[in-house]
A and B are shown apart, each in its own frame.
Chain A
């Protein structure tokens, strides 16, 4: 997987509370945006529902590459839905994921922030570069790889800051987490290739979905 969904019992309680508070604040900003915005159409809500369901189902497929990997597709959600609706989608994927044991309930705060980084970064890079380059595969590949690399770095940083419950030596946490980050980065390259092909395919058959990447639902 391109990043790990942290299970319950790994983070100390004060950090669980802190990440929940930060993610609640970020989600609050998004919800406030929707309350004040008159541009939220019913079609975009349905689109977000469909995209979220799709991301949740596609995660369950093992792509038989490098011994088998699962894709998160959060950068793809960012490219298609935009950052605001993408954030809504990410929190729901996290809730559904926690319900089936893919990530914990306590670490939803941190997992959501990690997903949000992927969504915002993928959206921003794709939006900035796609109009100039016009090559959907290359731009989606680059946007996804940058997004996943950033979230990977954030995951290592946040776990290093919070520590893992019961671990005695701090220095070794960094070493261990850096090794995990390297493995995740390899999976990120595969996810970037699949997302590149996926966006290129959609650009051919349904260009309206990613045209200009204004976020189809935002």
Chain B
């Protein structure tokens, strides 16, 4: 039966965990945003496999400490891992290093190639871990308020509307797919028939969404929308301790990336 893929995080699940609260929810959203920037910069500038491994372990620990579901995280990591492997897997045969597996006349796999793929995988997944920990520990109202403060107009307005529509659209598409499959969709064979079925499901989804958008647009106009969609969620400012910890982490990354050589 078709469904919204279990290897991609779905918004209702994310919403459930973000509203439930937990240890990470006590950290200011601003601090979490800075931490996200820290991890993105870190995996971009650091080349040491050991440090990248430590960063991955750190984000995994933070995710687990927040009481978030680890098994789901591993499932959700499949697609990002596929992205990394698609780009890097061929280099496993071409990197310099000590040969680990040699098939004469065909290929040679070196330790350098294996380390490269592992490093790129860990880098990508480090940020995925923290991104998910961030959004699954930050309430809907806080993310809305953050978007309202950070994004320029009309990007913020469209973002806030999108964020609201995602949940409704998710339910509608899931129901449409279930109905199509229950009516014999699984019996269809061949690319054109299957593509046509999915296009019709998507088409009904488009019509539903756009009708909904029209109604929302009229309601906004009726209420005197002037180009500004305010979010009334509150944002806790970062504590001094949080700021000090983040500043220290940034300094450590600069030292580790540019001043100290670690394999």
For residues 5 through 64 of chain A, which have their beta carbon under 8 Å from a beta carbon of chain B? 5-13, 16, 27, 31, 34-35, 40-54, 56-64
Q: Within 8 Å CB of B119, what residues of A?
A: 9, 166
A180 x B87 contact (CB < 8 A): yes
State the 3 A-B residue pairs at the shortest beta-carbon distance, nearest first.
Answer: A9-B123, A49-B161, A197-B199
B95 x A8 contact (CB < 8 A): no
Say yes or no: is B244 at the interface (Cβ < 8 Å to chain A). Answer: no
Interface of B is mostly: helix
Say yes or no: is B98 at the interface (Cβ < 8 Å to chain A). Answer: no
- Give A94 Cβ to nearest chain B Cβ, in Å: 11
B161 x A45 contact (CB < 8 A): yes
The listed residue with most A CB atoms (<10 A of its CB), out of B44, B195, B225, is B44
Docked Cα-Cα span, A99 to B41, in Å, equals 16
Task: Report the interface size for chain B: residues with CB under 8 A from the other chain.
Answer: 86
Q: Within 8 Å CB of A96, what residues of B?
A: 162, 166
Docked Cα-Cα span, A23 to B53, in Å, equals 31
User: Which residues of B approach A to under 8 Å, CB–CB?
Assistant: 2, 4-5, 8-10, 14, 36, 40-41, 43-45, 47, 52, 76-77, 79-80, 83-84, 86-88, 90-91, 94-96, 112, 116, 119-120, 123-124, 126-128, 131-132, 134-135, 152-155, 157-166, 168-170, 173, 177, 191-192, 194-196, 198-200, 202-203, 205-207, 209-210, 212-214, 216-218, 220-221, 225, 227
Docked Cα-Cα span, A167 to B213, in Å, equals 47
Contacts A8-B127, A100-B132 hold; do A164 and B88 have CB atoms under 8 A apart?
A: yes
Q: Within 8 Å CB of A45, what residues of B?
A: 154, 157-158, 161, 217
Docked Cα-Cα span, A121 to B96, in Å, equals 40
Docked Cα-Cα span, A48 to B156, in Å, equals 12
B154 x A40 contact (CB < 8 A): yes
- Give B12 Cβ to nearest chain A Cβ, in Å: 11
For residues 137 through 186 of chain A, which have their beta carbon under 8 Å from a beta carbon of chain B? 159, 164-169, 172-173, 175-177, 179-180, 183
- Give A191 Cβ to nearest chain B Cβ, in Å: 9
B9 x A101 contact (CB < 8 A): yes
17 A/B residue pairs, CB under 8 Å, sorted by A: A7-B84, A9-B127, A45-B154, A45-B157, A48-B162, A49-B157, A50-B161, A58-B173, A63-B198, A100-B132, A101-B9, A105-B36, A106-B43, A164-B120, A193-B192, A197-B195, A197-B203
Q: Within 8 Å CB of B170, what residues of A?
A: 57
Interface of A is mostly: helix
Q: Within 8 Å CB of B43, what residues of A?
A: 8-9, 106
For residues 87 through 109 of chain A, which have their beta carbon under 8 Å from a beta carbon of chain B? 88-89, 91-92, 95-96, 98-106
From B44, B94, B169, B194, contact of A9 by CB (8 A): B44
From A7, A16, A106, A205, contact of B207 by CB (8 A): A205
B212 x A63 contact (CB < 8 A): no
Say yes or no: is A131 at the interface (Cβ < 8 Å to chain B). Answer: no
From A73, A102, A106, contact of B80 by CB (8 A): A102
Docked Cα-Cα span, A130 to B138, in Å, equals 45
From A34, A42, A205, contact of B203 by CB (8 A): A205
- Give B33 Cβ to nearest chain A Cβ, in Å: 11
A49 x B124 contact (CB < 8 A): no
From B9, B40, B200, contact of A201 by CB (8 A): B200
Q: Within 8 Å CB of A85, what residues of B?
A: 158
Q: Within 8 Å CB of B155, what residues of A?
A: 27, 31, 88, 91-92
Docked Cα-Cα span, A120 to B155, in Å, equals 18
Q: Within 8 Å CB of B76, what residues of A?
A: 100-101
Say yes or no: is A114 at the interface (Cβ < 8 Å to chain B). Answer: no
- Give A104 Cβ to nearest chain B Cβ, in Å: 6
From B45, B86, B95, contact of A13 by CB (8 A): B45
